[in-house]
Structure 1
Amino acid sequence: MIGFRRPPWWALLLTAAGALLFVRLGIWQLHRADFKDALLRRYAASASAPRQDFAKVAETPPVDGFPRVQVSGRYLVERLYLLDNPQHDERGGVEVFVPFVLRDQLQPVLLVDLGFLPGNGTAQVPQLPPLPSGDVSLQGLYVPPPPLGFEMGGDALARQTQWPKSSIFLDPAAVAHDLGRPLYPRVLALDADPASIYVRVHTLDFSSMPPARHRAYAFQWFSFAIAAVVILLVLNRRRKPRESHFQNDPE
């Protein structure tokens, strides 16, 4: 029969602290998964939401909202930026961004996401269609800029002298410095247009940590909490000796 001896106080304390920490980390991961799921639902609902006044959300957009807006102005057609790390398909391609000057307003500049331009399976930049040089009216979702990451060699835009300029990460601060003009804090992701060569299937980029991965990590942390308790029990178990009855031989 297996019994358990009372473990030392420090073992109980360490196990309780560790298990509590693991449980809290698991709960935090579940909260992050729920938060991102809610953001994805709001993002999907924004595509058909009524338009909002851009002036009211331009500088201070809602943290967990994606306003649908309409703006008028002109493109800076000679200042295109290419984000060359999105992989929409096996052919590769680039996400094309262009600065947009709002009508009757010189500063700041709104960065417009024209969409994804598929490649041809080579490193060659796809042929970019010309943009209108006069005033145009645009509408789409006012969304956060693409996520940043570490780029070897620092600011790639500063090393390039001709447009379009390309980078594997599009840092709004680097774009603003390159243009010499401030940018709005978000970008305008244009509505889908069947007549456009650009692919406009916009979504929030949670590719590095989608909600499902948060839930997988939560399961992992909860497993660690259970393992800590099990280890404590295993290390402090004791096996009671079995009673043995020996029959003596008669003299």
Structure 2
Amino acid sequence: MKRFPIVATVLVGLAIAAMIALGVWQLQRKGEKEAMLVRLSANRGLPPIAFPRIPVDDSLLFRRASAFCLEPVSFRVEGGRNARGGVGWRQIAQCRTGAEGPGLTVQIGVAQAPDAKPTWRGGEVTGYITHALDHRPLIASIFSSEPKTLMLMADPPAPGLDANPGPDLSAVPNNHLAYAVQWFLFALVAAVIYAIAVRRRLKA
């Protein structure tokens, strides 16, 4: 009969403990996200604020805001939908707001063609605050401590562009319960597989 694998058991036990800890953390995040969604729902009825502002905080999401773009320094195009749910091309401008002030990201509207050339030259912008597009991998965004960039969703849009969609709470994901269940299942499967492997080893 072979000896009991002490070192391997310790390593597997640590891995299972880490999976359980991640599941508990996701349950905590679920509660935090639910409280945040309540706050964001209330934001839609609060008075407008000046944007951008420091510090950057997700508690500002869906708050009505106004900003002044001195000059758009660049544009980029991303696929998306307009206020009617139609497919289009989001026109996103990066603006200069002052010599030393923070920059401003603003989605000025939705174009029907991907090669549309915005003629917008900046100025006063009103709308609501939302997250800028984030192309980081999902795992990187979950564990990153760096806050997501906020941008202003213009309402009304720039001339010649379709209206942007309104604030939508369903766009803020709350998948933490599913993540927690996954981590707990991973821990259970790892424990069962290792127990079977050890049992066969000891019987060999």
Provide closer, same or farther for how the CA distance between residues 99 and 200 of structure 1 changes in structure 2, counting only shifts above 3 A: farther
SS of the equivalent of 1:93 reads strand
Shift of 1:43: 3.1
Provide closer, same or farther for how the CA distance between residues 48 and 80 of structure 1 changes in structure 2, counting only shifts above 3 A: farther
Residues 1:236 and 2:199 aligned together: yes
Task: Name the larger-Rg structure.
Answer: 1
TM-score (norm 1): 0.52
Provide closer, same or farther for how the CA distance between residues 206 and 21 of structure 1 changes in structure 2, counting only shifts above 3 A: farther
Shift of 1:117: 0.8
Stretches of structure 1 that go unaligned for 5 or more consecutive residues are 1-5, 151-184, 238-251
Alignment of 1:39-54 (within 5 A): 39-52=36-49, 54=50
Aligned identity (percent) is 21
Residues 1:108 and 2:73 aligned together: no
SS of the equivalent of 1:211 reads coil
Given the alignment, which residue of 102, 114, 125 partners 2:115?
125
Question: For the Cα contact (< 8 Å) 1:86–1:94, is it kept in 2?
Answer: yes
Corresponding residue of 1:99: 95
Provide closer, same or farther for how the CA distance between residues 220 and 59 of structure 1 changes in structure 2, counting only shifts above 3 A: closer
Corresponding residue of 2:152: 188
Stretches of structure 2 that go unaligned for 5 or more consecutive residues are 138-148
Given the alignment, which residue of 105, 127, 146 partners 1:140?
127
Q: How large is the RMSD of aligned CA atoms in angstroms? A: 4.2
Distance (whole Å) between structure 2 residues aligned to residue 27 and residue 21 of structure 1: 10
> Could you say which structure has the higher helix fraction?
2
Distance (whole Å) between structure 2 residues aligned to residue 65 and residue 80 of structure 1: 25
- Give 1:231's aligned amino acid: I
Corresponding residue of 1:31: 28
Size of the aligned set, in residue pairs, is: 181
Deviations along 1:51-85, one digit per CA (max 9) or x if unpaired, are 34x38x723244543454334x46536x4512x23
TM-score (norm 2): 0.61
